[in-house]
Amino acid sequence: MENPIRSGISSRTRSASGREPPFSVVDQGGEPHTFTEVKQFGGGFIPGLNDGQAPVPECAAGFSDVAVARTRILQGSTSLVTGLSKGTHYFQCCIHPVDAREG
């Protein structure tokens, strides 16, 4: 089964329940993304890319929010996700929230 996290950044990724952290995220998409944990999927901080969705609170402040800035992943770089509790976690890109699938 293809791992949606390793296959690149999908804007909306749901980590499988019980997946053992840490796991790594690699940006293969050719532009910067974020990999930001959110309670619910929604819009990011660039209104023109939100397809009409309201920004989620975790993304709304953009990179002026340190919590968002530290989830930025540049092309070719890897981010290691650690310390997740067991259960389901939702991650999305705060720049391009609607351009990919749910995993």
Return residues touching Cu ion (CB under 5 A): 33, 93, 95-96
Residue placing its CB nearer to Cu ion in the complex, 68 or 93: 93
Q: Is the peptide bond before 22 cis (omega within 30 degrees of 0)?
A: yes
Residue placing its CB nearer to Cu ion in the complex, 12 or 96: 96
The distance of closest approach from Cβ of residue 29 to Cu ion in the complex, given in angstroms and rounded to an integer, is 7
The distance of closest approach from Cβ of residue 32 to Cu ion in the complex, given in angstroms and rounded to an integer, is 7
Structure tokens belonging to residue 63: 């990179």
The distance of closest approach from Cβ of residue 99 to Cu ion in the complex, given in angstroms and rounded to an integer, is 7
SS3 at position 61: coil
Nearest residue to 86 (alpha-carbon basis) of 26, 15, 2:
15
Residue placing its CB nearer to Cu ion in the complex, 23 or 32: 32
β-sheet bridge partners, residue 90: 14, 38
